[in-house]
Amino acid sequence: MKNRSSVPAALSLGPPRTVRLPPPRPHRPRRWIPVLAACALTGLGWLLLDRLLVDRSPIVVGILHSRTGPMAVSETAMIDAEVLALEEINRSGGLLGRPVRWVIADGASDWPTFAREAERLIREERVAVIFGCWTSACRKGVLPVVEAADHLLVYPMAYEGMEQSPNILYTGAAPNQQITPAVQWCHDSLGARRFFLVGSDYIWPRCVNAIISDHLKGIGAEVVGEEYIPFGGTNVDDLVKRIVTAKPDVILSSVPGDSGLAFARGLRAAGIRPDQTPVVTFAIGENELATATGVDMVGDYAAWNYFQSIDRPENRAFVAAFQAAYGANRTTSDVMVAAYDSVRLWAQAVREAGSADVRQVRSALRHQSLAAPEGIIAIDPETQHTWRPVFIGRIRADGQFDVVWSSRTAVRPVPFPLSRSRAEWEEFVTGLYQGWGGRWTGPTAATPTAPRNGP
């Protein structure tokens, strides 16, 4: 009888077995989840608090120079230098964790326009500082604007002195850092005894020539002529004829911009050469010499606080950075370095103050110093002018300068020349202003022309 099971014995499953599963583990909450949640909430809270309490908005600064008119040939290069410094600041992370934004205003070579644009920058653009001006007429126009608003103008230009305002930082040369050293050098090194003084007809050249006249009296030299051409004017024929007649040993020129280049061209056309009657200019630098008419000044001299040819590592770095930004054929000059230094000094003061507030920055600026392209410079806390070295250079055919004399170290600024009292200088300046009918330029100032060398 066959086995009824259809399953082979070898595959028999045998009797059923009871499978015992391990007891279920008790549920334990994941303790790391609340920790992560708490950290996330804390981070979000700090982020919101940072957004509420820390200002990340841009710091706005004003740049106020002539992009049009007869001074554009000089001032547009100052804008380039200031923008370069601001771009370097932003690439390094900005100031106080904030980017810096700039607004460029055109003063149009006209001092009333400078005053209006300064007012607009302060009231409408709400700038933290204004870097700007070239001529003293424009600075004089801006001065009451920044004083009324208790604001700050940083003025990067050599000037006549005879001024001191808590609302202006003067980073260019005072008279004893440009004018009087050049006059003394002419007397001592060139053997000059007969001086012809030439200037544009506005506040700076008038004051410069008064300072020169005082100094020449002190050293027993003679002024054989003192003449002025309209600010912005280029008709120099009569002036050159008077110089030919006077036969001076040296010509001291405070004629800037297009006017200065026209004057140099007129002298060469009349046969006046630097080997016999050199010109010492206080207003023409490398930037102007790079123009087509710069060749007319080869062999003449200039007195400044910086030349591109100065051999310092800081200067080589500045020139390289400027040319990398604007082109290998671009030159640098004193006013450009002063403009560049001005931005860097202001930035140092912002970092030290921990604020871009105008009043706090003004206070911090009073003791800033800098290893600048021209040498060590520093703000004089008593006058808010700048200690700077002094150089006299001879103009080369390539538009650069061979330095023929230097002060070697920074010179302390003296805004009010010692030949007269402060009250006498202030009276002199007031007399010019009143004599011009409440203007800072002579009544024959040329009308600003079409844009030149500007965007």
Q: 75 and 121, same structural domain?
A: yes
What predicted TM-score, i.e. pTM, was given to this entire model? 0.84
Q: 3-class SS at 374?
A: coil
The runs of H, that is alpha helices, within 194-273 are 203-219, 237-246, 257-269
Question: Considering the domain boundaries, does residue 250 fall inside one?
Answer: yes
pLDDT at 232: 86
14 assigned to some structural domain: no
Are 296 and 370 part of one and the same domain?
Answer: no
Domain assignment present for residue 34? The answer is no
Q: Name the amino acid, one letter, at 411.
A: V
Strands 250-254 and 279-281: parallel
Asked if 281 and 249 sit in the same domain, the reply is yes
H-helix or E-strand spanning residue 318: helix 313-326
pLDDT (0 to 100) of residue 452: 31
Residue 408: partners with Cβ closer than 8 Å, 6 or more residues away: 389
Amino acid identity at 89: I
Q: Are 68 and 185 in a shared domain?
A: no
- In the chain, the amino acid numbered 19 is V
Domain holding 286: CATH number?
Answer: 3.40.50.2300
Q: List, for the chain, all residue ranges whose pLDDT scores fall below the cut of 50.
A: 1-13, 445-455
138-164 pLDDT per residue, tens: 999 999 999 999 999 999 999 999 999
3 state DSSP class of 388? strand
State whether 203 and 269 are in the same domain: yes
Extended beta strands in 313-397, E state: 369-372, 375-379, 386-387, 391-395
Predicted confidence at residue 305, as pLDDT, reads: 98
> What region does 29 belong to: left with phi over 0, alpha with psi -120 to 50, or beta?
beta
**What's the domain count of the chain?**
2
- 395: in domain: no
Say yes or no: 284 and 382 in one domain. no
Q: Residue 37: its pLDDT value, please?
A: 64
pLDDT in tens, 318-356: 999 999 999 999 999 999 999 999 999 999 999 999 999
**207/257 Cα distance (integer angstroms):** 18
Return the closest-CA partner of residue 411 out of 309, 303, 314, 331: 303
Q: How far apart are CA 373 and CA 306, in angstroms?
A: 8
Same domain for 125 and 215 = no
Range of the domain at 277: 177-304
Q: Is position 188 within any domain? A: yes
297 and 371 in one domain? no
Mark whether 126 and 189 lie in a shared domain. no
Verify that 169 and 181 share a domain, yes or no: no
The answer to whether residue 407 sits within a structural domain is no
- Report pLDDT for 231: 86
For residue 197, being part of any structural domain is answered with yes
Same domain, 166 and 183: no
pLDDT of residue 43: 66
300 and 227 in a single domain? The answer is yes
